[in-house]
Amino acid sequence: MAFVISDACVACGACEAQCPVGAISMGDGKFEIDADKCISCGGCAGTCPTGAISEG
């Protein structure tokens, strides 16, 4: 199951840099994860300073 980013995202970019498959990009005011590209590795969730990323 792909990870998702909640409204707690502060758009710091830490998750985007961590994603090994480039599934994370800037959306409308926060980062978003492309569920079709996400390999559910969890690297982004471990990097997020606000805990905004969880399994969807």
Predicted TM-score of the model (pTM) = 0.90
5-25 pLDDT tens trace: 999 999 999 999 999 999 999
What is d(CA 34, CA 20) in angstroms, rounded to the nearest whole number?
13
Average pLDDT of the residues of the chain = 96
In this structure, whether the domain defined by 3-55 belongs to CATH 3.30.70.20 is answered with yes
Reported confidence tier of residue 56, pLDDT bands at 50, 70, 90: confident
pLDDT at 1 over 90: no
Structure-token match 């969880």, residue found: 54
pLDDT at 45 over 90: yes
Residue type, 9: C
